[in-house]
Chains A and B, each alone.
Chain A
Amino acid sequence: MALTLTCPVCGKRNGYEFRYGGEDKGPRPAEEGLTPTAWCDYVHMNKCTMGVQKEWWCHRDGCGVWFTTWRDTTRNIEVEQPEANE
């Protein structure tokens, strides 16, 4: 089953036009007082959710925009934002 994603500019497109940008880990931590642990957490660590997660994508072979979307990793399909995560 092929993945499709919805680019906020171009609409629904084939998943292979996009580049995965990782789990959405919130804003980049402030440089001031940053510990190696916190930086490592931001750069390397993942939740590896078996289910719906919020993640970054870039429409690399399209308009080039970066955006976040929700995907069910057990079905490999884009899904609506789950209610609990409004």
Chain B
Amino acid sequence: MFWKTKPLWGNQPRLKSSYDVVIIGGGLHALATAYFLARDHGITDVAIIEKRFIGFGAAGRNTAIVRANQRTQYNVPLYKDALDLWPVLTKELDFNLMFNNCGNLNLMHSEAAMKAARMTIATAQFHGVESHLIDAKEAKELVPALNISEDITFPIHGAMFHPPGGIVRHDAVVWGLAKGCAKHGVHIHQQTEATAIHTEGGKVTGVTTSRGRIHARQVLVSAGGYSAGLIHQMLGIKLPISVLTIQAMVTQPLKPILDHVVSSGAYHCYANQTLKGEIATGAHMDQWPNYTTQNTAHYIKHQAESLSDWLPCLRGVKFMRIWGGLADMTPDMAPIMDGNDPIDGFYMDCGWGYFGFKSCSAVGKYMAQYMASGHCPEILKPFNLRRYENHQLMGETAALVSYTPDN
């Protein structure tokens, strides 16, 4: 009977007064890190501390796009690893993550953009990631609904086509990883808020939560958009992060018309058709930091205008549902993964902006390796916080990102 069912991740465990590892936040990165700590390193005395419920944050609000066609040689291998892990995890977790590798199409609207895409594609190909440039006609062959005429705001010159990317069901990833964590003995504490991190002589000693104090030798903050505020509030460490609301929405269900994830930087808009037939779309952030996750008429209008420009068959289609989440943006559009600096045993994994879903599987694997050994794996080294004062920013975007109405 229904009241007898229990969640895949078991009933709420007893909160112990001590764990080897405490992870603040119950999102994808927390769950993945805990899972790999247990699976690969036998570290199972782990507590995940989640203020509301797992998946409450951006984990349950993202548009589920996965791909590995990033811009720099540091980022591509990480995302490639993540992409390769979806089928593996599906099997291993014995949970259908609904990976649909339908391919991604990034529209280019100028010759300059086509040139930039050539460079990005060369990086991807160098790392063995399938990605190539196609012209507008070829793009139309892939997506017949595309408007490739000259009389739209940003005419389409071509596209970067990345066949191995696509969509993974984000809720399934949360549930599947939580199930895997619980199976290995990880404690998931929902409705439990972390309120302080304790240190002594430059070392982490524990965490205070709304349900009591916990001793721990290692603490990871992976609280998504909330991380930067929490880390400053609890430890006085400032991060190069701006937290902005990002909105997404779905239309009423339609017959199949869109077989790929299609995105456009010029329009600030992306779209794909879900298995239910809805067009899921998003891409623009609020122009100023805030923690509200509210939706705005401004944004609905923007989305309707751009979609009906490059996918004119959607004119008149109704939006059914709209929601918002937080994106923690860094100036170089790359995350911050760091540990033991300046506090021993303190780790952070944040600044993911709108890339935190596609990366979560690989990041969990490497953060677990980092925490288990105390040494930063090669692949994560470029993502340290000190790159800002050392002026070794990542170049995921051509220029530093400052969050204004112009970008």
A and B associate: yes
Chain A residues packing against B (C-beta within 8 Å):
1-3, 15-16, 19-20, 36-37, 40-41, 44-50, 60, 73-76
| Any A CB within 8 A of the CB of B221 | no
Chain A neighbourhood of B255, CB < 8 A: none
Chain B residues packing against A (C-beta within 8 Å):
226, 228-229, 232-233, 238-243, 287-292, 294, 296-298, 328, 331, 388-391, 403-405
Chain A neighbourhood of B403, CB < 8 A: 20
- From A19, A46, A49, give the contact of B405 (CB < 8 A): A19
**Whole-angstrom distance between the alpha carbons of A46 and B404 in the complex?**
16
Chain A neighbourhood of B391, CB < 8 A: 36
Contact A3 B288 (CB under 8 A): yes
Given contacts A1-B294, A41-B238, A48-B228, contact A20 B388 (CB under 8 A): no
Contact B294 A46 (CB under 8 A): no
- From A2, A15, A36, A45, give the contact of B238 (CB < 8 A): A45
Contact B288 A46 (CB under 8 A): no
Given contacts A19-B404, A40-B389, A50-B233, contact A45 B239 (CB under 8 A): yes
Contact A76 B292 (CB under 8 A): yes
Contact A46 B238 (CB under 8 A): yes
Task: With A1-B292, A50-B226, A74-B291 given, name 6 new contacts (CB 8 A).
Answer: A41-B238, A44-B388, A46-B239, A48-B289, A73-B291, A74-B292
Contact A20 B294 (CB under 8 A): no
Main secondary structure of the interface of B (DSSP, over half): loop
Chain B neighbourhood of A49, CB < 8 A: 229, 232
Q: Sorted from nearest, which 10 A-B pairs have the closest CB atoms?
A: A45-B238, A44-B240, A20-B288, A48-B228, A40-B389, A48-B229, A76-B290, A50-B229, A74-B291, A76-B292
Would you mind naming 24 contact pairs between A and B with Cβ atoms under 8 Å apart? A15-B288, A20-B403, A40-B388, A40-B389, A41-B238, A44-B240, A44-B331, A45-B388, A46-B238, A46-B239, A46-B240, A46-B241, A46-B242, A47-B238, A48-B232, A48-B241, A48-B242, A49-B229, A50-B233, A50-B291, A73-B243, A73-B289, A74-B290, A74-B292
**Whole-angstrom distance between the alpha carbons of A37 and B268 in the complex?**
34
**Whole-angstrom distance between the alpha carbons of A9 and B218 in the complex?**
52
Contact A45 B240 (CB under 8 A): yes
Q: Across the two chains, which residue of chain B brings its CB closest to A21? A: B404
Chain B neighbourhood of A74, CB < 8 A: 290-292
Given contacts A46-B242, A74-B291, A74-B292, contact A37 B389 (CB under 8 A): yes
Given contacts A44-B240, A46-B238, A47-B238, contact A20 B389 (CB under 8 A): no
- From B239, B243, B298, give the contact of A16 (CB < 8 A): B298
Most central of B288, B291, B298, B331 by chain A CB within 10 Å: B288
Q: Across the two chains, which residue of chain B brings its CB closest to A47? A: B232
Shortest Cβ distance from residue B385 to the other chain A in the assembled complex, whole angstroms: 10
Chain B neighbourhood of A2, CB < 8 A: 296-298
Shortest Cβ distance from residue B194 to the other chain A in the assembled complex, whole angstroms: 13
Given contacts A20-B404, A48-B239, A50-B229, contact A36 B289 (CB under 8 A): no
